[in-house]
Structure 1
Amino acid sequence: MTEKNILAWFKKQKWKPHVFQMETWKAMLAGYSGLINAPTGSGKTYSAWFGILLEYLQKYPDQKKTKPGLQAIWITPIRALAKEIEYSTSRSCTDLGISFSVAIRSGDTTAGQKAKQKKQMPELLITTPESLHLLLAQKGYPDIFKNLSTVVVDEWHELIGSKRGVQMELALSRLKGLNPDLKIWGISATIGNLEEAKDVLLGKYESPTKMIRAKIVKNVQIETIFPDVIENFPWSGFIGTQLLPKVIPIIHKSQSVLIFTNTRSQAEIWYQQLLETEPDLAGLIALHHGSLDQNTRTWVEDNLHDGKLKAVICTSSLDLGVDFSAVDTVIQVGSPKGVARFMQRAGRSGHSPGALSKIYFVPTNSLEIIEGAAMREAIKQNVIESRVPFIRSFDVLVQYLVTLAVSDGFEPDVIYKEIIRTHCFATVTKDEFLWCLQFITNGGNSLQAYDEFYKVEIEDGIYKVLSRGVAMRHRLSMGTIVGDSALQVKFLSGKRLGSIEESFISKLNIGDVFWFSGKNLEIIKVHHMEVVVKKSTLKNGKIPSWQGGRMPLSSQLSAMIRYKIDNYLANKVNDDPELNKLKGLFELQAKRSHLPTSKEFLIEYVQTKEGYHVFMYPFEGRFVHEGMAAIVARKISEIQPITFSIAMNDYGFELLSDQEINIEEALSLDLFNIKNLEAEIQMSVNATEMSKRRFREIASIAGLVFQGYPNKAMKTRHLQANSQLFFSVFEKYDAENLLLKQAYDEVLDFQLEIERMRMAYDRINQQSIILKRPIKPTPFAFPIMVDRTRSSYTNENIQDRLLKMKAQFEKDS
Structure 2
Amino acid sequence: MKERPATDNIRHPKKNSELSPSLMQRFYSGRKWEPFEHQVAAYRAYLEGYSGLLNAPTGTGKTAAIWLPIIEKLTGKSVSSRSSRKIKVIWITPLRALARDTEESLKRICAELETDWNIKRRTGDSSSATRTSITRKPPDCLITTPESLHVLISGSKNQELFSSLDTVVADEWHELTGSKRGIMTELALAYLRYLQPELSVWGMSATIGNLEEAMNVLAGSDHKQQQKFKLIRSGVKKKIRMQTLLPDRADRFPWAGHMGLKLLPKVEEIIGDSRTTLLFTNTRSQTEVWYQKLLEYEPGLAGQIAIHHGSVDKSLREWVEQAIRDEKLKVVISTSSLDLGVDFSPVETVIQVGSPKGVARYLQRAGRSGHQPGSESRIWFVPTHGMELIEADALHRAASANRIESRPLYDKPLDVLLQFLSTLAAGNGFSPDDTLAMTRKTVTYRNLTDAEWQWALRFLSTGGEALRSYPDYKKLEYTGGLYALTDKKQLRRHRLSIGTIVDDPVLKVQYLKGGFLGTIEESFISRMRSGDVFLFAGKWLTIVRLKDMTVYVRRSKKKRGIVSRWMGGRMQLSSQLAGEIRAVFEKLSEGVFDTAESRAIARIITVQSERSRIPRNNELLAEQFKSREGYHLFFYPVEGRAIHEGMASLVSWRIARKIPVTFSLAMNDFGFELLSDQHIDLTPDLLKDLFSPDDLVSDLTAAINASEMSRRHFREIARVAGLVFSGYPGNPKGARHLQASSEMLFDVFRKYDPENLLIGQAVSEVLNRQIDLRRLKAAVDRIAGQEIVVQPLQKPSPFCIPILADRLRGQLSSEELEDRIKKMQQQIIS
TM-score of the alignment, normalized to the shorter chain, above 0.5: yes
Q: How far is the alpha carbon of 1:802 from its aligned partner? A: 3.0
In the TM superposition, residue 113 of structure 1 has moved relative to its aligned partner by 2.2
2:53 pairs with 35, 38, 43, which one?
A: 35
Which residue of the partner structure matches residue 72 of structure 1? 89
Q: Which residue of 2 aligns with 1:705?
A: 724
The more displaced of 190-199 and 788-797 is 788-797
Q: What's the offset of the Cα at 1:514?
A: 0.2
What does 1:626-705 correspond to in 2, within 5 Å?
626-664=645-683, 667=686, 669-705=688-724
Aligned partners of 2:388 and 2:260: how far apart in 1? 11
Identify the match of residue 532 of structure 1 among 543, 548, 552: 552
User: Cα 1:14–1:530, aligned 2, differ >3 Å: closer, same or farther?
Assistant: farther
The answer as to 2:393 corresponding to 1:377 is no
Comparing 201-210 with 281-290, greater Cα deviation is found at 201-210
- SS of the residue 1:445 aligns to: helix
Aligned to 2:9: none
Q: Give the alignment partner of residue 26 of structure 1, picking from 29, 41, 44.
A: 44
Please report how far the alpha carbon of residue 665 of structure 1 lies from its aligned counterpart in structure 2 after TM superposition.
Answer: 5.6
Distance 1:795 1:345 in 2: 29
Distance across 1 between alignment mates of 2:506 and 2:80: 46
Measure, in 2, the Cα distance between the counterparts of 1:267 and 1:593: 37
Partner of 2:475: 455
**Is 1:614–2:614 an aligned residue pair?**
no
Q: AA paired with 2:461?
A: T
1:597: Cα distance to partner?
1.3
C-alpha distance after superposition, 1:151-184 (max 9, x if no partner): 0000011111211001001101100111111111
Matches within 5 A, 1:716-731: 716-731=735-750
- Deviation track 1:498-557 (CA, whole Å, cap 9, x = no partner) reads 000000001101110000001100001111211000000001010011111111111111
SS in structure 2 of the partner of residue 526 of structure 1: strand
- 1:491, distance to aligned residue in structure 2 (A): 0.6
Q: Any conservation in 1 of the 2:93–2:172 contact (CA below 8 Å)?
A: yes
SS in 2 for 1:791: coil
What residue number does 2:535 align with?
515
Give the AA of the match of 2:413: S
The residue aligned with 1:392 is 412
Q: Does the 8 Å contact 1:618/1:652 carry over to 2?
A: yes
CA gap 1:608/1:260 in 2 versus in 1, 3 angstroms: same
The Cα of 1:66 is off from its aligned counterpart by 9.4
Q: Assess if the C-alpha contact under 8 Å between 1:335 and 1:371 holds in 2.
A: yes
Between the aligned residues of both structures, percent identity stands at: 48
Deviation at 1:667, TM superposition (A): 3.5
1:558: how far off? 0.9
Mapped contact 1:606–1:775 kept (Cα < 8 A): yes
Q: Distance in 1 between matches of 2:722 and 2:682?
A: 49
CA distance in 2, matches of 1:754, 1:262: 25
Contact 1:63 1:99 in 2 (8 A): no
Aligned-pair distance for 1:632? 0.8
Determine if contact 2:242/2:396 at 8 Å carries over to the other structure.
yes
Deviation at 1:2, TM superposition (A): 6.9
Alignment-derived partner of residue 3 in structure 2? none
Shift of 1:67: 5.0
Return the match for 2:214 from 163, 180, 197. 197
In 1, Cα distance between equivalents of 2:641 and 2:767: 14
Where do residues 307-386 of structure 1 align in structure 2 (5 Å cutoff)? 307-386=327-406
Partner secondary structure for residue 15 of structure 1: coil
Does the 8 Å contact 2:94/2:172 carry over to 1?
yes
Question: Aligned to 1:54, which of 72, 96, 103?
Answer: 72
| Structure 2 spans left out of the alignment, 5+ residues | 1-18
1:232–1:810 CA contact under 8 A, matched in 2 = no
Secondary structure in 2 matching 1:656: strand
2:101 to 84, 100, 118: 84
Residues 387/529 of structure 1: CA separation in 2 closer, same or farther (3 Å cut): same
* Equivalent position of 1:798 in the other structure: 817
Which position in structure 1 is the counterpart of 2:588?
568
**Distance in 1 separating the partners of 2:692 and 2:155:** 55
What amino acid sits opposite 1:28 in the alignment? Y
Distance of 1:335 and 1:225 partners within structure 2: 12
Distance in 2, matches of 1:232 and 1:556, equals: 30
Task: Using the TM superposition, give the Cα deviation of residue 374 of structure 1 relative to its aligned residue in structure 2, in angstroms.
Answer: 0.9
In the superposition, relative to structure 1, how do residues 273 and 234 fare at CA in structure 2: closer, same or farther (>3 Å)? Answer: closer
Count of residues paired in the alignment: 809
1:772-796 residue CA offsets vs partner (Å, 9 max, x unmatched): 0011111111100000000123597
Distance 1:610 1:123, change over 3 A: same
Change (3 A) 1:728 1:121: same
Whole-angstrom distance in 1 between the partners of 2:76 and 2:579: 51
- 1:638, CA displacement in angstroms? 2.1
How far apart in 2 are the matches of 1:169 and 1:341?
A: 23
- Partner AA of 1:637 in structure 2: A
Q: Which amino acid aligns with 1:47?
A: A
The CA deviation at 1:668 is 5.1
Q: Secondary structure at 2:241's aligned position in 1?
A: strand
Q: Which amino acid aligns with 1:23?
A: A
Residues 234 and 782 of structure 1 are in contact (CA less than 8 Å); yes or no, is this contact kept in structure 2? no
Contact 1:647 1:653 in 2 (8 A): yes
The residue matched to 2:527 in structure 1 has which SS? coil
Tell whether 2:567 aligns with 1:550. no
**1:432-451 mapped onto 2 (5 Å cutoff):** 432-451=452-471
- Residues of 1 paired with 2:279 and 2:814: CA distance? 31
Residues 366 and 379 in structure 2, CA contact (< 8 A), matched pair in contact too = yes
User: Aligned partner of 1:11: which letter?
Assistant: S
Moved more, 630-639 or 323-332: 630-639
Letter in 2 for 1:182: L
**2: CA distance between counterparts of 1:273 and 1:104?**
36
| Distance (whole Å) between structure 2 residues aligned to residue 399 and residue 668 of structure 1 | 47
Is it true that 1:181 corresponds to 2:198 in the alignment? yes
Kept in 1, the 8 Å contact 2:588–2:605? The answer is no
Q: What is the CA-CA distance between 1:583 and the residue it aligns to? A: 0.9
2:5 equivalent in structure 1: none
- 3-state secondary structure, aligned to 1:620: coil
Distance in 1, matches of 2:355 and 2:209, equals: 20
Give the match for residue 590 of structure 1.
609
CA contact (8 A) 2:354 2:383 kept: yes
Moved more, 525-534 or 665-674: 665-674
Counterpart for residue 242 of structure 1: 262
Deviations 1:553-594 (A, max 9, x none): 111111111112212333x35431001111111110000001
Q: How does 1:146-161 map to 2 (within 5 A)?
A: 146-161=163-178
- The verdict on how the C-alpha distance between 1:645 and 1:688 changes in structure 2, with shifts beyond 3 A counting, is same
Contact 1:491 1:533 in 2 (8 A): yes
Distance 2:372 2:82 in 1: 36
C-alpha displacement at 1:371, in angstroms? 1.7
Within the candidate set 268, 275, 278, 2:295 is matched to 275
Taking a change above 3 Å as real, the CA distance of residues 656 and 72 of structure 1, as seen in their structure-2 partners, is same
Per-residue deviation at 1:51? 2.0
**Other-structure match for 2:136:** 119
Q: Equivalents in 2 of 1:32, 1:689: separation in Å?
A: 49
Name the TM-score, length of structure 2 as normaliser.
0.95
Unmatched tracts of structure 1, length 5 or more: none
* Distance in 2 (alpha carbons) for counterparts of 1:668 and 1:370: 28
1:360 match: secondary structure = strand
Between the aligned partners of 1:361 and 1:39, the Cα distance in structure 2 is 20
Question: Quick check: 2:505–2:521 contact (8 Å CA) kept in 1?
Answer: yes
Q: Distance in 2 between matches of 1:221 and 1:575?
A: 18
Give the equivalent residue in structure 2 for 1:13: 31
1:8 deviation in Å?
2.5
Q: 1:290 is matched with which residue?
A: 310
Q: Take 1:723 and 1:638, find their aligned partners in 2: how far apart are those partners?
A: 33
| Matched residue SS, 2:466 | coil
